[in-house]
Amino acid sequence: MKKLILILILIICVACNDLNFADNEVVAHRGAFKTHNLPENSIASLKQAIELECVGSEFDVHMTSDSILVVHHDAEYHEMVIENNKYATLNEQKLSNGEDLPTLKAYLQAGMENNMATGLVCELKPASSKERTLAVAKKTLDLVEELDAANYISSYISFDYNMLKGLLAINPKLHTQYLNGDKPPHELKEDGIAGFDYKFIILKNNPNWITEAKNLGLTLNAWTVNKKEDLIFLLDNEFDFITTNEPELLFSILEERKK
């Protein structure tokens, strides 16, 4: 009987580690920060995106001078260049809600907690050199493996094409999306990139890329889309994902379209 109970517990634990991403197009850009005035890229904004059950929550990764991966958008944090400063120095300045500058480790651990629907969309920021850029990629994948967090990462994205190719050289099965908007869909397909995540206006001006990407089986995403008419345009064009600072607005549009 005890063995049966242990087996059942093991099955439940394994099942709980499987993340079924939510069935919607809503990717919260730097977390769901706006409605509750939370810091962008904070653990609080990530938890809010998880509470909303967004299909994804996007965040940005840099590496400090002492090789600590941190979550922050800009290359500078409180006028300090992240890659030129140690984490302890950077973290003397807290986020506006009192949080520490999130390490990637702490951020991933928070994203794995009480989360059954929201994928983590990891944007890897280019560094000052190709070597350091690829080191960020490898160190990120090593940390994801260490934390057993792979099931929670829905996509790796970057403006740096070599960063994505470096990720795929390590693990060809990773889902990647390119951000810069300068490559046609067929080139992404040839290089094993799973899809694009381009600036909205680029896609609106190149509707043939939308058609081509669909025909090639690529995933379609656009950033950062906040106006109702633009969100509707992307939904009408059957985008897989829409990255927005207004997740609540996009959810309300989705509800309207169900009626």
CATH of the domain at 96: 3.20.20.190
* Structural domain includes residue 13: no
Query: Which pLDDT value is given to residue 53?
Result: 99
* Structural domain includes residue 4: no
Number of domains in the chain: 1
Go through the chain and tell me how many residues it has: 259
* Structural domain includes residue 176: yes
Expressed as residue numbers, the domain containing 35 is: 25-258
- List per-block mean pLDDT (blocks of 10 residues) for the chain, which spans 259 residues: 44 55 99 99 99 99 99 99 99 99 99 98 97 96 98 98 96 98 99 99 98 99 99 99 99 97
Listed in order, strand segments (DSSP E) in 75-194 are 76-77, 80-81, 119-124, 153-158, 176-178
Query: Which pLDDT value is given to residue 19?
Result: 79
* Structural domain includes residue 15: no
Query: Which pLDDT value is given to residue 163?
Result: 95
* Structural domain includes residue 11: no
* Structural domain includes residue 52: yes
* Structural domain includes residue 32: yes
